[in-house]
Amino acid sequence: MSVIDDSRVLLQDIVTPDLKAIASRLDALEKSVKQGFDSVEKIAEVRHELLLNKLLSESAAINNRLTAETAAINSRLTSEIGGLTSKLTSETAAINNRLSGEVSSLNAKFDALSNRLDREAIAAKERHESLLRSLDIDRRIELLESRNAPAKRKSA
C-alpha cells in the first residue's frame, strides 16, 4: 500500500498547490469580472439618467415652444376675427341704413301713388255721376220701359 500512499502524497504535493493557485486565480478573475459588470451597470445607469434628463429637458423646451407658438397663433386669429367682426358689423350697418332709406323712399312713393289713385277714383266717380245726371239716364230708361211695357202686354 505504500505505493498507493506514495502516489497520493506525490499527487497532493504536486497537484494541490497548482489546483489552489488555479482556484485563487479563478476567484480573482471572478471578482474582477463582477467588478467590471458592476462598473458597466453603474455607467449604464448614469448614461440612462443623463439621456432621460436630456430627453425631459428637450421635451420641456419643445412644449414651451409649442405653447408660445400656439398662443401667438391664437392671438393673431383672435385679432383677425375681431377685425373681420367689426368690418362685418359696420358693413351690415351701412347696408341696413341704405336699405332703410330705400324702403322709406319706396313707402313714400307708394303712399303718394295710393293718394293719387284715391283722388283719381273720386274724380272718376264724380265724372261718372255728372255724366249720368247730364244724360238723365234713369229717366230715359223709365220712359223706354214704360213705352215698351204696353207693347209687351199686347203681344202676350
Q: Output the 3-class SS for 101-132.
A: HHHHHHHHHHHHHHHHHHHHHHHHHHHHHHHH
Dump pLDDT digits (tens) for 123-136: 999 998 888 777 77
Residue segments in the chain with a per-residue pLDDT below the cut of 70: 1, 150-156
- Give the max Cα distance, the chain: 194
pLDDT at 5 (0 to 100): 83
For the chain, the structural domain boundaries read: 2-110
**Coil, strand or helix at 83:** helix
Contacts of residue 132, defined as CB under 8 A and 6 or more positions apart, other chains included, come to: 138
Contact between 98 and 90 (Cβ < 8 Å): no
